[in-house]
Amino acid sequence: MFEYAPAPESRSVVDLKPSYGLFVDGKFVDPADGGSLKSINPASEEVLAEIAEGGAQDVDRAVRAARRAYEKTWGRLPGRDRAKYLFRIARIIQERSRELAVLESLDNGKPIRESRDVDLPLVAAHFFYYAGWADKLPHAGFGADPQPLGVAAQVIPWNFPLLMLAWKIAPALAAGNTVVLKPAETTPLTALLFAEICQQADLPAGVVNIVTGAGETGRALVEHAGVDKVAFTGSTDVGRAIARSVAGSGKKLTLELGGKAANVVFDDAPVDQAVEGIVNGIFFNQGHVCCAGSRLLVQESVADQVLESLKRRMGQLRLGDPLDKNTDIGAINSAAQLTRIRELTEAGAAEGAQSWSPPCPLPERGFWFAPTIFTGVTQAHRIAREEIFGPVLSVLTFRTPAEAVEKANNTPYGLSAGIWTEKGSRILWMADRLRAGVVWANTFNKFDPTSPFGGYKESGYGREGGRHGLEAYLDV
Amino acid sequence: MSERVTVRKTYKLFVGGKFPRSESGRSYLVQDSNVSLASRKDARDAVVAARAAVKGWAGATAYNRGQILYRVAEMLEGRREQFVALGVPGAEVDAATDRWVWYAGWSDKLAQVYGGANPVAGPYFNVSAPEPTGVVAVAAPEVPALLGLVSVVAPAIVTGNTVVVAASPTAPLAAVTLAEVLATSDLPGGVVNVLTGRLSETVPTLAAHMDVNAVDLTGVRDPELAAELEVKAAENLKRVLRPVPADHDWSADPGLRRMTALLETKTVWHPKGV
């Protein structure tokens, strides 16, 4: 064994301003009626920048700018020209990807290894993918001349800030819409850097507007009478509230909400591979993943063996500085999220489940939570039913495939699921029966711009990615 | 010789493949007949029947579902005069029959048109396929009573969903008669359940029901009621098809929208390797 030596990524590549305005109509402007918020580094609690909190007037200004751009420039541009702007943006993202990755890790707390190797490549790929659709919409299967909707209001979460921006903006623009996007209050910085990239690409003013703020700003945006489309990624509770608020308005709505995915391990699965998949399923991005494999369903006959391997593997996970290239588990995104994780894990213990974490010193400053598994979990326990959105795995067992299906589907959610077995026919049998929008067999947490992503049941509706992702932004 | 006294028909609900009266014992006079006035409890019973039918119907082969929908067209063609006698124009019966035929053919084609292989950037097999969302509650358009009803029911069931449909309150006889067609077409009981009566009584119960996956508000004319129903549907995030304008042309090519709005896309990944 080698001695551990830190390998920190330099943050000098990031040039942060002390404060940022709203990005409206192609320019950074001060808020008219809003206040300000501070975005902090969750690994150190250091203030990174002050950002504007958009008020109702600011939202209105942004929606009007988007409407003007839709009517005067973007809506009239041929698809091939929209495509070229999107290709430009994709290229600039690639050129500035290290800067964006470091900034993402600073603002979000996720390990640089993930922001650099997962988030940023997917962000660029997403813009490339949808760029190519912009002049091919008549071939997308939605009729001969599918039309855009108009102005899209987009509200995104803090777990994959720039990736969720890409998932929202790329298809919207490719289809010919203009957008007003509200990033999460704790992770607005890469969206603001993206606004600079739009300027750098000479994207016409008003096509992309970024209004930073918290819940009230988002509410003003989705309820604004001037928007034609609402797209939201976040919690099921907020998604429900948005679905109620757009009722009767005629706004097209797509929602990508919570999950409580089952990761099902059969007795014939190769244990080492399955354990890697379990670890990736729940500890990737600190478990701040809506499709995280947060319920491990392991076949009873191999449960002891799998758990032993899993614990051994968890002992190897390195928690700490997100900018250290060795880091596996970074910081919890916010104090509020840490409180939520603690509250649910305390409920898990109180309800009788047994928790286990590897020896894992936590840094003194910042928000941290050690990787944790709960055994002795029943389906009635809160930790088996509610989305924890943290590095916490609930372990349940099953005996027969039918029982595995029953337990996996025993949730109001239906975003994703995992299957681990060497038997091909069993994979397909399971995949047919799991009520989830994405099924990973002998892998987990894989994403691609060509691959539709989205949920069944209370995990929301609509798909992002692939040809299906265009439908959310076309009047079809 | 005196003229033969005709045998009149009692028009009842269609739930779980049977023709019960409303559990409330109520009926209302419409189109010169007493027709069951479905209650909220009838709506809930119909959801139970529809849910029970999901596994078998969604699990049937696409080929089998297509055969059954085509059989519905055959049965409807044979009863053409019966619908004409109820006041449905002959051309509308023909259009409704043709619509069953059109949708029947989609059963084993939609997955190829609406799903497919995704060329992901990595060594993975990746395929997306549509699946039925489950139980669909439908408010049928008031007119045309037969073509409108067929145009909302057929696209929902062809992909494997089951349906609870609130029929046109002013012209329910065509709906009950269509139920007789369905009952004799090898369609499993519970796949289509027909409620007659007031939309304001049955549809809010269906829109709020936690075991309903989608709600089609096509026939809801009152915008305020439609908005209320959308709010109820949000409780468990039902898929919502919104009302269509009163002058909607039901004879036009329906496109895929009525089918795709009631589908879930499932994407399956698997690594490639030796």
Q: pLDDT digit string (tens) for B138-160? A: 999 999 999 999 999 999 999 99
Q: CA A312 to CA B244: how far, in whole Å?
A: 59
pLDDT at B2: 84
CA nearest to A460 within chain B: B237
Q: CA A390 to CA A138: how far, in whole Å?
A: 42
Phi, psi of B192 (to 5 degrees): -125, 130
pLDDT in tens, chain A (476 residues): 678 899 999 999 999 999 999 999 999 999 998 789 999 999 999 999 999 999 999 999 999 999 999 999 999 999 999 999 999 999 999 999 999 999 999 999 999 999 999 999 999 999 999 999 999 999 999 999 999 999 999 999 999 999 999 999 999 999 999 999 999 999 999 999 999 999 999 999 999 999 999 999 999 999 999 999 999 999 999 999 999 999 999 999 999 999 999 999 999 999 999 999 999 999 999 999 999 999 999 999 999 999 999 999 999 999 999 999 999 999 999 999 999 999 999 999 999 999 999 999 999 999 999 999 999 999 999 999 999 999 999 999 999 999 999 999 999 999 999 999 999 999 999 999 999 999 999 999 999 999 999 999 999 999 999 999 999 999 99
Question: Is the residue at B1 inside a domain?
Answer: no
Put simply, the answer to whether B237 touches A457 (Cβ < 8 Å) is yes
Helix, strand, coil shares of chain B, percent, nearest 5, are 45, 20, 40
Q: CA A263 to CA B95: how far, in whole Å?
A: 48
Put simply, the answer to whether A441 touches B270 (Cβ < 8 Å) is yes
Range A140-158 burial, b when 16+ CB lie within 10 A, else e: bbbeeebebbbbbbbbbbb
Question: Is the residue at B2 inside a domain?
Answer: no
- Residue reference for tokens 């055994």: A375
Yes or no: say if B122 and B255 are a contact pair by the CB < 8 Å rule. Answer: no
* Sheet architecture: strand order including A35-40: A19-20, A47-53, A35-40
Residues 6+ apart with CB under 8 A from A425: none
Question: Is the residue at B217 inside a domain?
Answer: yes
pLDDT at B274: 85
Q: CA B194 to CA B211: how far, in whole Å?
A: 17
pLDDT at A1: 66
Question: Is the residue at B123 inside a domain?
Answer: yes
Put simply, the answer to whether A437 touches B267 (Cβ < 8 Å) is yes
Question: Is the residue at B4 inside a domain?
Answer: no
In total, how many domains does chain B have? 1
Mutate to test the interface with B, among A422, A448, A467 (most CBs of B within 10 A): A448
| Chain B residues inside the 8 Å CB shell of A239 | 237
Put simply, the answer to whether B270 touches A461 (Cβ < 8 Å) is no
Question: Is the residue at B244 inside a domain?
Answer: yes
CB pairs under 8 A between A and B: 104
Which CATH number is B170's domain given?
A: 3.40.605.10
Yes or no: say if A182 and A212 are a contact pair by the CB < 8 Å rule. Answer: yes
Q: CA A206 to CA A197: how far, in whole Å?
A: 14
DSSP H or E segment with residue B270: strand B263-271
Question: Is the residue at B15 inside a domain?
Answer: yes
Instruction: Quote the domain boundaries for residue B216.
Output: 11-271
| Strand, coil or helix: A155 | strand
Q: Given A461, A471, A476, which is nearest B239 (Cβ)?
A: A461
Which of 129-158 (A) contact B at CB < 8 A?
Answer: 141, 143
Terminal alpha carbon distance of chain A = 59
E strand segments, B42-180: 116-117, 124-132, 135-139, 162-166
Can you give the pTM of this predicted structure?
0.97
* Active-site annotation of A, residues: 256, 290
Can you read off the two tokens belonging to residue B192?
Answer: 């289509």
Question: Is the residue at B6 inside a domain?
Answer: no
CA nearest to A452 within chain B: B267
Put simply, the answer to whether A466 touches B114 (Cβ < 8 Å) is no
* Predicted ipTM of the assembly: 0.97
